[in-house]
Amino acid sequence: MDKSTLIFPYSAWWILACLLVGGVYAFVLYWRDTYFDKKIRYALAALRAFVVSIVAFLLLAPVLRSIRNNTERPSVVFALDNSQSMTLTQDSTQRKQWITELEKIKNKLENEDIEVNLQTFDNEEDLKKVRFKNQSSDLGKLLSTITNNYENRHLDKIVLVSDGIHNQGVAPEFLNISVPVYTVGLGDTTIRKDLAVQAVFFNKLAYLGNKFPIVAEIKNNGFEERTVNVSLLQNGSTIASQTVRLRKEDISEVDFLVQANQKGIQRYTVAVEVLDGEWTAQNNARDAIVEVIDGKEKILLLAAAPHPDIKAFKTIIEKNENYSFETLIAGAGQPKEERYDLIIAYQVPDMSGAVNGILENFIKKDVPVFYILGESSDLNKFTQLNSVLNLKGRSGDIDEVFASLNGTFSKFNLDTEKLRLLAKMPPLLVPYGDYGFKTSVETVLYQNIGRLQTKKPLLSLLMGKASKSAVLAGEGLWQWRLEEFDLTDRNDIVDELFLKVIQFLSSKEDKRKFRIYTTNNEYLDFERVVFEAEAYNELYEKLSNVKVSLSLQDEKGKNYNYNFTITGGTTKFEVSNLPKGIYKYTATADILGKNEKASGEFIIKDLQLETLTSTADFGLLRKVSQNTKGKFFKINELAQLEKELLNTKKPNIIHSSEELLEIIHVKWIFFLIVFLVSVEWFLRKFLGSY
């Protein structure tokens, strides 16, 4: 109900003064006018008096006060668990029956002036259109979504209809919900005899030729002291099996050690045999998806003689499983590989020249080199070969220097606070001489002579697009690691610094003109597979309007073909409704008259969460209701639920709002004044006056 009143800043007696002003003004204007007859003159005078009185009244600046009342009805939200487990113990006829009863309750509540809404995992708003296909049950998120959506609104109650099976997200009994939650439990609380592969643990990444573990947890109900066969399958073929005696405890663990023999995405399946009397066989197998790569970065350390630093570098590099490390000391043969991702030239080139030729051979192949200088380094040969420093000095002349961090270096994410520890490290032995840069070089560490900080580089990087290189102008890294361990009981700071340098040097730059890749390697079967495609010209500038042909092939050889166009330099292309399995994709594009090709792999998998258990958990639902001062009902007690909802209905909330508006801003008064003045003017003209 709306209510409006006028507020006067002055005494109401001024209204009489406004009427008097209007009357006097009209009398002065019309009392001598003899052109019109008496009745017309009085009518015109009345119009003029009314207009002038209104204008005078507006000058008093009265305020119009409006009070508006809005009624907000209480809201009841039906939170419906539409996961797959809701269909395991009930047929479609039973579901239709209780959904119809819920629809009747909804209609009765609405007839009692209660707003009723529906919330499901997939945001369905119509009870009759709900499909029980959600592959997980995140009841905590379902309830949190409702409380967030109805914040600062008149939420009366939440009615949670569920089997109480919760397998993802925050447990609902730990949520802080300020409104009563009435829970309705359906399903069968009887524990059925069943075997299930409850979980599979594995590394998502494995290297070709290595062995890796796959660990499975077998959950059993009712099959204690029985033996079962557990098999491991790769792409459908059995590669290992074990016989397991099920313990009295409900979890048995099975370990497999697998040899990675094939590159690419591999699907391994842990399957437990189906026993007589099992309630369902849908949960007797689970997949483990492992990507097998031959992607270890190959690093070769060349040295003319043994040194403790070599062991230090080996320890640092082997911290990262992505690196394959090899050491070659003069007189120990030849390199095992024709090409490496990085060469660490430890005091090479040296004065003896024993392995200088090997280094020069790799330099010709544009392999990045990390030079470590020391007492045995051949400075003249080093200056000729390297692309970082010009070093003028006499080989064998050395100096002891400490390290100081270049505070302006920002190419890596370095923790400058932790790296201050380098100032406490023992001195390194560096060649004495004049240091100069050959090209644009980034300095990470400077040389300090005692307390004197110099601009001579200790650790420098060449970060050009064409080639990469680095120089550590000193030996004695092994002492740094010992000192750090003595100070901190760890070897993290020094190791992290040099691992970042090695990672930078060994990383490969992608020179392809056409690239396509999926945003993830793994997708669930209800998700869309998202591809991103890019095309480049000779200057590696992004191109647009490039047509792409994309072909997918599943494990059975079935092909799926698509076409799209790259726009704006990068294009996202989505594919949906792909069945579970491993897919290989190949894409081709015509870029500046040349056919470019790219390929890759991804996998579609299902969660399998809803098949792990079919036993309804009414205890969880009772806890939620108890914590929120609600009540628990079984699905056959919907009539009692209806009475409870109606008997505990909250009253409507009335929201009042006040608005103050100066009456001079009311538009209809302006148009009234214009209308009255226009009528007066029209009558005078129509009757022949000026």
What are the residue ranges spanned by the domains of the chain?
Answer: 3-69+659-686, 74-187+615-647, 194-293, 297-506, 514-605
CATH superfamily of 194-293: Immunoglobulins (2.60.40.10)
Four-residue CA torsion sign, 87, 92, 94, 100: positive
Of 84-98, 308-322, 489-503, where does mean pLDDT reach its minimum? Answer: 84-98
Four-residue CA torsion sign, 306, 311, 316, 319: positive
- Please tell me the predicted confidence (pLDDT) of residue 595: 92
**Average pLDDT, whole number, for the chain?**
86
Task: Count CA within 13 A, CB hemisphere, residue 365.
Answer: 15
What is the per-residue pLDDT across 440-496, written as a single tens digit (0 to 9) for each? 889 999 999 887 889 899 999 997 756 789 999 999 999 999 999 999 998 999 999
Q: What is the mean pLDDT of residues 229-250?
A: 85
Contact between 422 and 507 under an 8 Å Cβ cutoff? The reply is no
* Euclidean distance between CA atoms 41 and 62, whole angstroms: 31
Taking the chain, what is the end-to-end CA distance rounded to the nearest angstrom?
49
- Inform me whether the pLDDT recorded for 570 exceeds 90: no
**487-493 contact pairs (CB < 8 A, 24+):** 487/421, 487/424, 488/421, 491/315, 492/418, 493/415, 493/418, 493/419, 493/421, 493/422
- Inform me whether the pLDDT recorded for 335 exceeds 60: yes
Amino acid identity, position 209:
G
* Euclidean distance between CA atoms 599 and 552, whole angstroms: 10
3-state DSSP call for residue 282? coil
- Please tell me the predicted confidence (pLDDT) of residue 57: 81
pTM of the model: 0.51
- Please tell me the predicted confidence (pLDDT) of residue 623: 92
User: Between 477-488 and 493-506, two packed helices, what is the crossing angle to 10 degrees?
Assistant: 140
- Inform me whether the pLDDT recorded for 232 exceeds 80: yes
Any residues with CB less than 8 A from the CB of 328 and at least 6 apart, and which? 300, 301, 302, 303, 334, 335, 355, 358
* Euclidean distance between CA atoms 666 and 670, whole angstroms: 7
CATH hierarchy code of domain 514-605: 2.60.40.1930
* Euclidean distance between CA atoms 661 and 672, whole angstroms: 18
Task: Count CA within 13 A, CB hemisphere, residue 592.
Answer: 11
* Euclidean distance between CA atoms 313 and 213, whole angstroms: 29
What is the CATH topology of the domain spanning 74-187+615-647?
Rossmann fold (3.40.50)
* Euclidean distance between CA atoms 67 and 3, whole angstroms: 5
What is the per-residue pLDDT across 14-47, written as a single tens digit (0 to 9) for each? 878 888 888 888 888 777 776 777 777 788 888 8
Burial of 357 (0-12, 13-18, 19+ CB in 10 A): exposed
What is the CATH topology of the domain spanning 297-506?
Rossmann fold (3.40.50)
Identical fold, 194-293 and 297-506: no
pLDDT interval class at 124 (50, 70, 90): confident
